[in-house]
Amino acid sequence: MGNGGLPNPKSSRAPRARASSSSPATAMASPATAKPKTTKKHSARLNNPFPRAVPASAFRSGDAAPPLSFGPLSKLAHAHDYPVGSRFRLSWNPSLGGAVSLARVSSSSSGGEPPSRVMWETIPGVAFVSAASATTEADECRGSFALRDGRARLVPDRQSVDRIRALYRRDVETGADSLRGAVFEASDQTRFPVLLITGVVSAKKADPASSCCCGLRARARAGKPVLSARYWVFLEEKSDTQVSFSVKIADYQWSCGHADPSSPTPAATTAPRPHRITLLSLRLRLAGRIHRNMSKKKKLSAGFPPQPQEEVSALLPSPERASADEEARPEEFNRVFLTYASDRDERFYGFGEQFSYMEFKGRRVPVLVQEQGIGRGDQPITFAANLISYRSGGNWSTTYAPSPFYMTSKMRSLYLEGYDYSIFDLTKPDRVQIQVYGNSVQGRILEGESPTELITSYTGSTGRPPVLPRWITSGAVVGMQGGTDAVRRVWSQLQDHDVPVSAFWLQDWVGQRKTAIGSQLWWNWEVDDDHYAGWKDLIRDLRSDGVRTMTYCNPCLVPVCEKGNARRHLYEEAKELGILVRDEAGEPYMMPNTAFDVAMLDLTNPEACSWFKGILRGMADEGVSGWMADFGEGLPLDARLHSGEDPVAAHNRYPELWARVNREFADECKPEEGLVFFVRAGFRESSRWAMLFWEGDQMVSWQANDGIKSSVVGLLSGGLSGIPLNHSDAGGYCTVDLPLLRYRRSEELLMRWMEVNAFTVVFRTHEGNKPGSNCQFYSNSRTLAHFARCAKMYKAWEFYRIHLVKEAAEKGLPVARHLFLHYPEDRRVQELTYQQFLVGTEMLVVPVLDKGRTAVTAYFPTSDGGSWRHVWTGQEFGGGRRSGHGSVGEATVHGFEAEVSAGVGCPAVFVRVGSPVGERFTRNLRDLGVI
């Protein structure tokens, strides 16, 4: 039923394509960002099925971390504590090369008592700030992106700490010398004192026999040219649980020992002020760089006078002039590195919605919004996807909704602000290194005694979703396609089975188009009156039975000149208004979809946002109560935007802009029952704007990286990253139906996936991209009866769901929770991925995620002394029972495992013994005829 699906695994909801021969393009860059070289790979017929892993190793690795030194000032020669606001302290320890640590002052501390647990600390003798200048290389293919470091030009290998100073309001108002060159703005809310760390990053030229900075070959024993740049690190108390940090690195300078033998080395003094361009600096930037590209007959002497760049370039033969202009362009630092300490047994959680892993120690985690991929490492589908479309298979790190945030088993937590591409390198057991593609870094260090405290602190500043309207969580959301008659027929079947239904979600309300690869949606956001004849009558009739209607849209548009019944041509309207993302020629950027090209709204343009709200208004006026706000992850890295901002950073920001447009309309419209939209793409602050998430397009398989198991990992990792309201397509989405490669949704997979989703915040089905190849909830009497049973399980805990949704809005805590949130010191809990999860604190779900299984192994933590009761048999687990007790560091096993039956229709669900929630849930199951 519905459309015929797509031969390509991702349908119009998640475009994929045949890849193409590479065509290079360049991206706009902000003044502080190196211009990335972007290569398009959209339509090659065959591609490397094993593309190079991304990210590759950084050119600055933790194996050769630069040394740290400190100046001769007396305050740095001895250990000292500095206040950061009124609640935090930074400690300086000069031993072993020098290190700093940040801690919150214990509430019980007084006088000389030490601070409480350390929140953040550096490695003694290892630089915690460094920088580099490097080219950026990017590959792009239909929502899949790969960024790499190219040639590195400037790489300081040493850091000095010259001064640490607590600044008060009077220092800022009077313009203290230590603030010269720094960027700091105080406000009425600033909590003084603010701490400032200043120093220099530096490096000597590697080859002593090469040309010196002034254009001369260095003599024997002559001083090597020295690269140096001043940096500023600010620490500011932002709240009772947060300290913000910012790192800014000035323009680089060069000095020459033989030119000024009396000058001290940068490790013991400050660098030249950025605005003072000395003769030697100018010679390096202009003459020195040109010298390397000139013929040996053209040499610049030490007495060469400073000249404008165009005059120097004019000295070169014309074939060399273009190269000289390129090389002579002043470089800037466009990479910043932060390196700090980690314990060997420390476990890292978070980084947004991740699908393969819950814990990331030992990995390099890139934070870039993009398609999750088809297979993501599961074989053979990943091989096939990569072969026919460049990198479309994805890998363990590709995700729609990453976030530069983590928390650890040691209760340490940090997140980055801004939208620059970043990589968190956790491959070294004793450290964390963050690489940021920019020339500055801002972020926050969080304090908390538990994971729940850390999430509450984090979401307090990044944002939380609103309380959902009650209707969306009152019953199942039925995903349907096929037109009016199909919807009415299925609705009649659901009524016969007494299924609690809250809404019909009709993805194909805009009509379907026939393309070379099958049926796809018309991306022209108005109802197709032929496909859904009597649209308003259908909405009204469903509503009279208490059922809402939901639709679909995304921020892309297509020409619809071939669509005979189109009333509005939205692409042409947007093009005429100039509100589409543009290419380098200033024309609408047409991005390849599966079988057609699409344009994307430029949401950095306020006019585009206002215009699209008008589209949403038309939907709401027809009676639509909600919609899927799809996509948001595909902004090209070489786009031209209305705001003029760097498109690489805007790429990560775009999902937030997309969610914000939808949210602002939902808040402005305010119908009595409330509107609901759900998104798949996101970034750090998406929960401030998105009402609800879904996990995108999993395969219809049992596999770990992109099947039913990954849907549980995504649910729980998102919950640990500030995405508290999330769900997946029951049954999965991505179907492949080829002679030698078949992924079809089986009846058993559909039933088990329904059981999982009956315990998420929203219980929604989807027919998949190939409805005819998949088992559906309406396929036969067994699937209909099972769907009714799962919908009643979902209905039975509605009362608790209302409480948890409110808690998510108030504290940022997820509805479905990894056990780490409440049992963080249990080593067995720390190792869990998809095996089980909590619903709030009162229910425990251990789903069947493997084909043919009728029993599961459940782990029952007992550190809180509680017991759990099986809802189907009444058997209790817990109390004084413990097994496998042991410890590794501070993590200890406090619980036991037990095998529990879990036949189809009776998933392993437990309630806390003595819990009013558990008692009411069990009673409701009886009343609904499930028990």
Query: Are 116 and 109 spatial neighbours (Cβ–Cβ below 8 Å)?
Result: yes
Q: What pLDDT, on a 0 to 100 scale, did the predictor assign at position 196?
A: 96
Task: State the sign of the Cα–Cα–Cα–Cα dihedral 848, 853, 854, 859.
Answer: negative
Q: What pLDDT, on a 0 to 100 scale, did the predictor assign at position 414?
A: 98
- SS3 per residue for 865-913: CCEEEECCCCCEEECCCCCCCCEECCEECCEEEEEEECCCCCCEEEEEC
Q: What pLDDT, on a 0 to 100 scale, did the predictor assign at position 337?
A: 95
- The pLDDT tens digits for 635-645 are 999 999 999 99
Q: What pLDDT, on a 0 to 100 scale, did the predictor assign at position 256?
A: 64
Question: 64: Cβ–Cβ under 8 A, 6 or more apart, which residues?
Answer: 157
Confidence of residue 70 (pLDDT cuts 50, 70, 90): confident
Read off the pLDDT of each residue in 73-82 and give the average, rounded to a whole number: 82
Quote the Cα angle for 602-604-608, to 5°: 55
Read off the pLDDT of each residue in 619-648 and give the average, rounded to a whole number: 97
Task: Compute the distance between CA of residue 557 and CA of residue 568 in angstroms, rounded to an integer.
Answer: 12
Question: 782: Cβ–Cβ under 8 A, 6 or more apart, which residues?
Answer: 747
- Specify which residues 243 forms β-bridges with: 237, 445
List the catalytic residues: 630, 633, 697
C-alpha distances out from residue 122 to 221, 408, 601, Å: 35, 16, 44
Q: What pLDDT, on a 0 to 100 scale, did the predictor assign at position 74?
A: 55
- The pLDDT tens digits for 98-134 are 999 999 997 654 555 556 789 999 999 999 999 999 9
42-51, 94-103, 560-569, 698-707: segment of lowest average pLDDT: 42-51
Q: What pLDDT, on a 0 to 100 scale, did the predictor assign at position 509?
A: 98
Secondary element (H or E) of residue 425: strand 422-425
C-alpha distances out from residue 728 to 217, 718, 758, 761, Å: 65, 12, 11, 10
Task: Compute the distance between CA of residue 756 and CA of residue 592 in angstroms, rounded to an integer.
Answer: 35
Q: What pLDDT, on a 0 to 100 scale, did the predictor assign at position 178?
A: 67
Q: What pLDDT, on a 0 to 100 scale, did the predictor assign at position 268?
A: 35
The two three-digit tokens of residue 405, written as one number? 């945030």
In which region does residue 412 sit, left (phi positive, over 0), alpha (psi from -120 to 50) or beta (all else)?
Answer: beta
Question: 319: Cβ–Cβ under 8 A, 6 or more apart, which residues?
Answer: none
C-alpha distances out from residue 566 to 319, 515, 532, 549, Å: 55, 17, 13, 22
Confidence of residue 518 (pLDDT cuts 50, 70, 90): low
Most confident of 192-206, 504-518, 580-594: 580-594
Report the chain's mean pLDDT, rounded to a whole number.
85
Read off the pLDDT of each residue in 354-370 and give the average, rounded to a whole number: 98
Q: What pLDDT, on a 0 to 100 scale, did the predictor assign at position 27?
A: 36
- The pLDDT tens digits for 533-553 are 999 999 999 999 999 999 999
- Is beta strand 843-846 parallel, antiparallel or unpaired with respect to 413-416? unpaired
Read off the pLDDT of each residue in 367-394 and give the average, rounded to a whole number: 96
Q: What pLDDT, on a 0 to 100 scale, did the predictor assign at position 174?
A: 82
Q: What pLDDT, on a 0 to 100 scale, did the predictor assign at position 112?
A: 54
* pLDDT greater than 90 at residue 554: yes
pTM: 0.89
* pLDDT greater than 80 at residue 894: yes
The more confident residue out of 62 and 918 is 918
Q: What pLDDT, on a 0 to 100 scale, did the predictor assign at position 320?
A: 44
Query: Are 715 and 760 spatial neighbours (Cβ–Cβ below 8 Å)?
Result: yes
Task: Provide the residue type at 678 as one letter.
Answer: F
- Is beta strand 626-629 parallel, antiparallel or unpaired with respect to 676-679? parallel
Task: Compute the distance between CA of residue 702 and CA of residue 848 in angstroms, rounded to an integer.
Answer: 10
Q: What pLDDT, on a 0 to 100 scale, did the predictor assign at position 62?
A: 41
Read off the pLDDT of each residue in 624-646 and give the average, rounded to a whole number: 97
Polymer length of the chain: 931
* pLDDT greater than 90 at residue 764: yes
The two three-digit tokens of residue 557, written as one number? 């548009």
Read off the pLDDT of each residue in 148-173 and give the average, rounded to a whole number: 89
Task: Compute the distance between CA of residue 671 and CA of residue 131 in angstroms, rounded to an integer.
Answer: 52
- The pLDDT tens digits for 20-41 are 333 333 333 344 455 678 888 8
Q: Quick one: what percent of the chain has pLDDT higher than 70?
A: 81
Query: Are 645 and 634 spatial neighbours (Cβ–Cβ below 8 Å)?
Result: no
**Dmax of the chain from CA atoms?**
95
Task: Compute the distance between CA of residue 832 and CA of residue 818 in angstroms, rounded to an integer.
Answer: 8
Q: What pLDDT, on a 0 to 100 scale, did the predictor assign at position 175?
A: 77
Q: Quick one: what percent of the chain has pLDDT higher than 90?
A: 70
* pLDDT greater than 60 at residue 315: no
Task: Compute the distance between CA of residue 67 and CA of residue 63 in angstroms, rounded to an integer.
Answer: 12
DSSP secondary structure of 116-182: SSEEEEPPTTB-SEEEEEEEEEEEEETTEEEEEEEEEEE---EEEEEEEEEE-HHHHHHT-GGGTT-
Distance of CA 504 to the CA centre of its chain: 30
Read off the pLDDT of each residue in 917-929 and give the average, rounded to a whole number: 98
Task: Provide the residue type at 623 as one letter.
Answer: G
Q: What pLDDT, on a 0 to 100 scale, did the predictor assign at position 40?
A: 85
Task: Compute the distance between CA of residue 145 and CA of residue 638 in angstroms, rounded to an integer.
Answer: 12
Q: What pLDDT, on a 0 to 100 scale, did the predictor assign at position 11?
A: 39
Read off the pLDDT of each residue in 238-257 and give the average, rounded to a whole number: 89
Question: 114: Cβ–Cβ under 8 A, 6 or more apart, which residues?
Answer: 106
Task: Compute the distance between CA of residue 89 and CA of residue 92 in angstroms, rounded to an integer.
Answer: 10
* pLDDT greater than 80 at residue 299: no
Read off the pLDDT of each residue in 810-814 and give the average, rounded to a whole number: 98
Most confident of 16-25, 43-52, 136-145, 802-811: 802-811
Q: What pLDDT, on a 0 to 100 scale, did the predictor assign at position 729?
A: 98
Read off the pLDDT of each residue in 62-88 and give the average, rounded to a whole number: 78
Read off the pLDDT of each residue in 670-691 and give the average, rounded to a whole number: 95
Question: 275: Cβ–Cβ under 8 A, 6 or more apart, which residues?
Answer: 181
125-129, 304-308, 516-520, 855-859: segment of lowest average pLDDT: 304-308
* pLDDT greater than 50 at residue 326: no
C-alpha distances out from residue 297 to 219, 291, 300, 511, Å: 21, 10, 10, 70
Quote the Cα angle for 342-344-346, to 5°: 65
* pLDDT greater than 80 at residue 310: no
Task: Compute the distance between CA of residue 482 and CA of residue 508 in angstroms, rounded to an integer.
Answer: 7
DSSP secondary structure of 464-511: -PPPPPGGGGSSEEEEE-S-HHHHHHHHHHHHHTT--EEEEEEGGGG-
Confidence of residue 314 (pLDDT cuts 50, 70, 90): very low
**Residue 36, Cβ neighbours under 10 Å: how many?**
26
Confidence of residue 662 (pLDDT cuts 50, 70, 90): very high
Read off the pLDDT of each residue in 149-167 and give the average, rounded to a whole number: 89
Read off the pLDDT of each residue in 66-86 and give the average, rounded to a whole number: 82
Task: Provide the residue type at 649 as one letter.
Answer: A
- Is beta strand 253-256 parallel, antiparallel or unpaired with respect to 225-239? antiparallel
Confidence of residue 281 (pLDDT cuts 50, 70, 90): very low
Task: Compute the distance between CA of residue 689 and CA of residue 656 in angstroms, rounded to an integer.
Answer: 7
